[in-house]
A and B are shown apart, each in its own frame.
Chain A
């Protein structure tokens, strides 16, 4: 009888080594093998971050929006970042969370698109396939305890089918007719749901744009890590359009008559 579980199922020759004594079996070690290995770190916290991304379904396709800010903690460091990335001709990926991990994801997606193109089989990647690929990657990284610290929205139109889904650093996925990441899920989602739910097939592009603008305005008022410059991505059967930077008109005069924070009157 072979008493060692680590030998069960492994190749051995019963003629001269019935108990699988060679090679000498050792428990696998996880210590660094060289100086490079010792320097490898797992992501502990996001450093340069993007805030919410919004997405909604309308009559002709999908509309997504994200502001142009990458914050460094509480510093508004990079104010002209594009957080919406077109992938192929019919999908857009929007990212919140760590921007360096998003740049890595962008490189991966570029590679994916190039590989698909060079296979020249007449197929193009659909948004559902890109979402599935990202979900697998994100969950695999989470399992290795080294996540890509992002929350991603994937939206697109393929063969008349509209697709909008979410995937995050844990590998959680879900799909709905309105989605928002980060603070957007608490501030913008109530507004998006009220405006869109039930009307996905009759909402026009103009109405959708107004809803998005209203939500971005509320986010700028109430999210302390947001910016009043944003871009909107529209995906229809015709293709992907990512707009130029739009500026929000805001009003800060609502409490002009108020003095102090309590009993003060002057």
Chain B
């Protein structure tokens, strides 16, 4: 966006796309977007919402970040998982989080999940899908628990269980065979962990660890790396050399601490121009 104020004018602002195309024609290679190629899930249970995500960020075929955090903070009891282009999900959720805080201060009420959803969908639609953020938004507010999924073009769905990202089919298969209404907390958390694990092991865009976040009316629990099924094995050989492997003839020890004495000149409060 070319404007830095909170207000965004109506209509579509494509000035950056024009600039990017111009630069590309001049020969500047377009930066390769880091994509989260992801498995993210959300699930409604008896007391609230459980969100889950894997922790791998990819740059094409390379793993850029082995342990990134995909569950973003919106407000105290609203969180958003993000799939798609990592920069887009980070900045979009951060922007909406700021706006939600301002909105809560201005209205004097606890923020609602539908507010965040409306802000996100209106922004994403304005960019006609060029902002590659596919989000799973969940939280509990004064009207109860809500779970939404928001697609990059701005469409939303309200459902009791959702999955997004490249591993969404693997995770959805687990949900479709395991979800029931009014689950207990442990049951819901296990289902979410199983769904993310299905994405991690069956999809190449997802991997590493499982993150989870349990949101209820009274508390929000962020379970970072709740499951780590891909810990690196301990190295079998030791690469240290024993002391004494190399013989030495002479030993000389020098102190690198320089002694300094400070002599104050003048009143002591002049500007330091050294």
Contact = CB atoms under 8 A, between A and B. Distances in A.
B173 A218 contact: yes
Interface stretch (B57-65, B175-183, B250-258): B175-183
A193 B156 CA distance: 32
B202 interface: yes
Contacts of A217: 176-177
A124 B181 CA distance: 53
Nearest to A253: B181
A262 B170 contact: no
Interface in B171-193: 172-174, 176-177, 179, 181
Interface in A74-108: none
Q: Which of A187, A215, A263 is most buried by chain B, counting CB atoms within 10 A of its CB?
A: A263
Contacts of B158: 255, 258, 260-262
B118 interface: yes
A187 B172 contact: yes
A186 interface: yes
B160 A254 contact: yes
A222 interface: yes
Interface in B111-158: 114, 117-118, 121, 148, 155-158
Contacts of A262: 114, 117-118, 121, 148, 156, 158
Given A263-B117, A263-B118, A214 B177 contact: yes
Contacts of A193: 201-202
A260 B155 CA distance: 12
B107 to A, nearest CB: 15
Interface in B158-214: 158-161, 169-170, 172-174, 176-177, 179, 181, 194, 198-199, 201-202
Q: Which of A183, A217, A221, A262 is most buried by chain B, counting CB atoms within 10 A of its CB?
A: A262
Interface in A173-190: 183, 186-190
Contacts of B174: 190-191
Contacts of A261: 155-158
Bin the interface of chain A by size: 20 to 34
Contact of A191 (B156, B160, B173, B179): B173
Contacts of B172: 187, 218, 222
Interface in A160-201: 183, 186-191, 193-194
Nearest to A214: B177
Main secondary structure of the interface of A (DSSP, over half): helix
Contacts of A183: 169
A255 B198 contact: no
Interface residues of B, number: 26
Contacts of A191: 173-174, 177, 198
Contacts of B155: 261
Contacts of A218: 172-173, 176-177
Interface in A238-266: 254-255, 258, 260-263
Interface string B256-272: 00000000000000000
Interface in B224-262: none
Nearest to B149: A261
Contacts of B157: 261
A263 B146 CA distance: 10
Given A188-B173, A262-B148, A254 B156 contact: no
Nearest to A192: B173
Contacts of A189: 170, 202
Contacts of A188: 173
A190 B176 contact: no
Contact of B198 (A190, A215, A263): A190
Contacts of B161: 254
Nearest to A258: B158
A254 B181 contact: yes
A143 B148 CA distance: 48
A185 B50 CA distance: 27
Interface of A: 183, 186-191, 193-194, 214-215, 217-218, 221-222, 254-255, 258, 260-263
11 contacts: A186-B170, A190-B170, A190-B199, A191-B174, A214-B177, A218-B176, A255-B159, A258-B159, A261-B157, A262-B117, A262-B156
